[in-house]
């Protein structure tokens, strides 16, 4: 090496934050917490969960790092257009907390991020599975496809922040024991929020879904089909803006549980649909409300729904 050359400084430029000096990394803390850290660039994170505590992650194609007794996965992708994919590759029997920050404090309105949770049809039978996603000022897309749930407490919560965001959750399978809670908060912007559940709800089991569009003209969709022998709670809140909410609940023949459903348009002129279909003679209880809020609202609903929409149609 030429000694006359000034050594290149080892510190990074001061405009960079401390966090962003580091390379993207995956590490295990305390033997039970997997930490995935991105940087200011676009990062691709892939998490593979065997379901039994064996969880690994890679970032930007790095070799997977993980452990066999992982209970927490913490992902912070920071700035840039980031994507995070979670795969459940076997029956989930171990508890897991999964927290994903797509760059809430770094991204601008120009950024685009995604978080995808694919359960590949595997059953969730862990005591607890908690998934939280923190969106950004940019465009965030959260997609989740879950299988059956047995004797588990499962929560999926997404705060999408500003921008035109998308949340879409699908559950294909019966929900038998404890429960499931799904909540999405669209924040500002035109947010497309959807949840689709195809499966029976067993006696004593609770399923709750909250879709909150926030400000902006939000399209919100909810579909449920199955035998309701436990309790189904559903609420969609349009917030400010001209929102379109379409909720279709079908309690299959033989349902003995309870359904509480509310669709609230909030301010401005909303187009609201709430259908709760039951079979004559079933003992399933229904409490359903369609509330247009301020503005001139259009309501379409089954006869078991109480509505105050200005333009009201019973179907």
State the residues that interact with Ca ion by CB under 5 A: 38, 43, 77-78, 80, 82, 135, 140, 160-161, 163, 165, 213, 218, 238-239, 241, 243
Residue 173 or 238 with smaller CB distance to Ca ion: 238
Eight-class DSSP state of 228? B
Residue 226 or 241 with smaller CB distance to Ca ion: 241
Q: How far is the CB of 71 from Ca ion (least distance, A)?
A: 25
Q: How far is the CB of 309 from Ca ion (least distance, A)?
A: 16
Residue 101 or 218 with smaller CB distance to Ca ion: 218
Residue 235 or 259 with smaller CB distance to Ca ion: 235
Q: How far is the CB of 249 from Ca ion (least distance, A)?
A: 21
Residue 53 or 163 with smaller CB distance to Ca ion: 163
Strand, helix or coil for residue 138: coil
Q: Distance between CA 173 and CA 124 in Å, rounded? A: 10
Residue 106 or 125 with smaller CB distance to Ca ion: 106
Q: How far is the CB of 26 from Ca ion (least distance, A)?
A: 14
- Cβ neighbors of 257 (< 8 A, separation 6 or more) are 201, 203, 228, 229, 230, 231, 232, 251, 284, 285
Q: Distance between CA 168 and CA 195 in Å, rounded? A: 6
Strand, helix or coil for residue 179: strand
- Of 196, 197, 277, 274, nearest to 238 (Cα)? 274
Q: Distance between CA 162 and CA 104 in Å, rounded? A: 10
The widest CA-to-CA distance across the chain, in whole angstroms, is: 93
Q: How far is the CB of 129 from Ca ion (least distance, A)?
A: 24
Residue 165 or 291 with smaller CB distance to Ca ion: 165
The residues with which 179 forms a beta bridge, in sequence order, are: 153, 206
Please check whether residue 269 is in contact with residue 241, taking contact to mean a CB–CB distance below 8 angstroms: no
Q: How far is the CB of 246 from Ca ion (least distance, A)?
A: 14
What's the count of helices (H) and strands (E) in the chain, helices before strands? 1, 25
How many other CB atoms sit within 10 Å of the CB of residue 56?
20
Q: How far is the CB of 157 from Ca ion (least distance, A)?
A: 15
């Amino acid at each position: 090496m030429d000694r006359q050359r000034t050594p290149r400084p080892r510190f990074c430029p001061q405009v960079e934050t401390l966090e962003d000096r580091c390379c993207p990394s995956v590490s295990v803390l305390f033997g039970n917490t997997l930490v995935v850290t991105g940087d200011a660039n676009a990062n691709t994170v892939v998490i593979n969960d065997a379901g039994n505590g064996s969880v690994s992650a890679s970032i930007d194609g790095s070799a997977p790092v993980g452990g066999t007794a992982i209970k927490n996965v913490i992902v912070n992708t920071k700035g840039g257009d980031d994507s995070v994919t979670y795969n459940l590759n076997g029956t989930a029997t171990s508890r897991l907390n999964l927290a994903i920050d797509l760059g809430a404090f770094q991204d601008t309105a120009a950024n685009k991020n995604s978080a995808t949770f694919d359960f590949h049809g595997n059953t969730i039978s862990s005591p607890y599975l908690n998934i939280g996603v923190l969106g950004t000022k940019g465009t965030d897309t959260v997609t989740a496809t879950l299988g059956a749930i047995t004797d588990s407490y499962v929560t999926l919560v997404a705060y999408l922040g500003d921008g035109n965001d998308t949340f879409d959750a699908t559950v294909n399978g019966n929900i038998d024991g404890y429960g499931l809670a799904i909540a999405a908060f669209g924040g500002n912007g035109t947010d497309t929020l959807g949840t689709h559940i195809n499966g029976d709800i067993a006696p004593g089991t609770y399923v709750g879904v909250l879709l909150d569009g926030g400000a902006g003209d939000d399209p919100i969709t909810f579909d449920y089909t199955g035998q309701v022998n436990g309790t189904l709670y559903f609420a969609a809140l349009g917030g400010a803006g001209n929102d379109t909410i379409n909720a279709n609940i079908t309690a299959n023949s033989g349902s003995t549980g309870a359904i509480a459903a509310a669709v609230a348009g909030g301010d401005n002129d909303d187009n609201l649909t709430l259908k709760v279909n039951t079979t004559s003679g079933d003992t399933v209880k229904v409490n359903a409300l369609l509330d247009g809020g301020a503005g001139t609202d259009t309501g379409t609903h089954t006869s078991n729904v109480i509505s105050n929409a200005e333009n009201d149609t019973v179907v």
